[in-house]
Amino acid sequence: MSELPVPYRVIGRRDETPDTVTLRIEPAGEALGPFAPGQFAMVYAFGRGEIPVSVSALLPGGHLAHTVRRVGAVSQGLCAARPGSILGLRGPYGTGWDLGQALGQDVLVVAGGIGLAPLRPLIHAALADRKAYGRISVLIGARTPDDLIFKTESLLWPTAYTGVTVDRPDRGWTGEEGLVTRLIDRARFDPAGTTAYLCGPEPMIGATARELVHRGVPAARVRVSLERNMRCATGHCGHCQLGPLLLCRDGAVVGWDQAEPLMAVREL
């Protein structure tokens, strides 16, 4: 690894859920870039370390948003950042979603939990260029209503269909219950002419991808985002291997045709 982190200043923060925060950041000096939807940065919390975080919005002026869930020491440090805090960033890294693949097609976005964060810039980009695509549908699943992110914003997306479901509803919940795959029936799309983008826990990705392929979406057009340990993001540390793939370089977004045989092997 040879790239140095460059300073970015936190200029806004929003608590999405009790354990998830969205930080809006701007370059404190020279900007990195440009990022494409689905690409990630190595984000450095001073004194704690670096973790890979996908961009959750691409904003004017080289501003970025990152949405972080508190799961370890570094993400705790990032979640504690306040406006004015300085973070370090390296990137952009990874393949990105490749929205170009969906030109002229129906677009189906399926997210589980915080998996919606990397998909958000893709949704923004597709909606900003509506005429280039067919029907755009977004299916969102979460464990509980408290785990839903971008709640207000997602209601306003002018999609053909946006559905939300939770596994464990609370008393005030009046929406859908159950796994996100239940929503596939609600979305209108032509399977043979659809490109799907999936991000979430591995079991959710597997179940959704299999269902979509069963319905006739070509496996290579089911784009999934995978996760492994990542230390360098430049293809040199070996940690993010998944069989033949170095996920920092060849992923983290890959086609289901590539991912399925790999995910079928235990402990790969």
Partner 1 sequence: MNTPQRALPKLAVVKLASCDGCQLTLLNCEDELLALAGQVEIAHFLEASSVVRPGPYDLTLVEGSVTTADDALRIRRIRAESRHLVTIGACATAGGIQALRNFADVDEFRRTVYARPDYIDTLATSTPVSAHVDVDFELRGCPIDRGQLLEVITAYLAGRKPDIPDHSVCFDCKRRRTVCVTVAHGTPCLGPVTHAGCGAICPAYGRGCYGCFGPGRSANLPALIPLLRRDGMDEAAVERFLRTFNAAAFDEAAFDEEPRS
Partner 2 sequence: MAVTKHGEGTSRGKATARTEATARTEATAVIDRAGLDALIKTLTADGRTVIGPTVRDGAVTLAELDSADALPWGWGTELDAGHYRLVRRTDGAGFAHSSGPQSWKTFLHPQREKLWSAERGPDGALTVRDERGEQPSYAFLGVRPCDLRAIAIQDRVLAGGRFADDGYQERRRGALLIAAECTEPGATCFCVSMQGGPAADAGFDLALTEVISDLGHRFFVRVGSEEGARLLAAVPHEVADMDTEARARGGVSLARDRMGRAMPPVDLRTLLGASPESERWDDLASRCLTCGNCTMVCPTCFCTTTEEVTDLTGDHAERWQRWDSCFDLDFSYVHGGAVRTSARSRHRQWLTHKLSTWHDQFGSSGCVGCGRCVTWCPVGIDLTQEVAALAAEREGADDE
Positions touching partner 1 (CB under 8 A) are 47-49, 72-74, 76-77
Burial class (CB in 10 A: 0-12, 13-18, 19+), 59: middle
Helix, strand, coil shares of the chain, percent, nearest 5, are: 30, 35, 35
Structure tokens at 254: 């890959």
Q: How far is the CB of 61 from partner 2 (least distance, A)?
A: 20
Please give the Cα distance from 268 to 247 (Å, whole number): 13
Q: How far is the CB of 23 from partner 1 (least distance, A)?
A: 17
Q: How far is the CB of 76 from partner 1 (least distance, A)?
A: 7
Please give the Cα distance from 63 to 81 (Å, whole number): 16
Closer by beta carbon to partner 2, 215 or else 229: 229
- Cβ pair 163, 140 in contact under 8 A: yes
Among 210, 237, 255, 260, binds partner 2 (CB under 8 A): 237
Residues 74-113: x/- map of binding to partner 2 (CB under 8 A)? ----------xxxxx-------------------------
Residues in the chain: 268
For residue 17, which of 70, 55, 53 has the smallest C-alpha distance?
70
Closer by beta carbon to partner 2, 124 or else 249: 249
Peptide bond between residue 252 and the one before it cis (omega within 30 degrees of 0):
yes
Interface of this chain with partner 2, residues 7 to 46, rule: CB under 8 A: 7, 28, 44, 46
- Cβ pair 92, 32 in contact under 8 A: yes
Backbone angles phi, psi at 11, to 5 degrees: -115, -5
Stretch that binds partner 2, among 146-154, 161-169, 214-222, 235-243 (CB under 8 A): 235-243
Choose the contact partner of 229 out of partner 1, partner 2, none; CB within 5 to 8 A by kind: partner 2
Closer by beta carbon to partner 2, 129 or else 202: 202
Backbone angles phi, psi at 233, to 5 degrees: 70, 0
Choose the contact partner of 236 out of partner 2, partner 1, none; CB within 5 to 8 A by kind: partner 2
Among 13, 124, 135, 249, binds partner 2 (CB under 8 A): 249
Q: How far is the CB of 122 from partner 2 (least distance, A)?
A: 23
- Cβ pair 96, 69 in contact under 8 A: no
For residue 185, which of 157, 206, 214, 156 has the smallest C-alpha distance?
214
Q: How far is the CB of 73 from partner 1 (least distance, A)?
A: 4
Q: How far is the CB of 106 from partner 1 (least distance, A)?
A: 44
Residues that bind partner 2 (CB under 8 A): 1-7, 28, 44, 46-50, 71-72, 84-88, 227-229, 231-232, 234-239, 241, 243-246, 249, 265-268
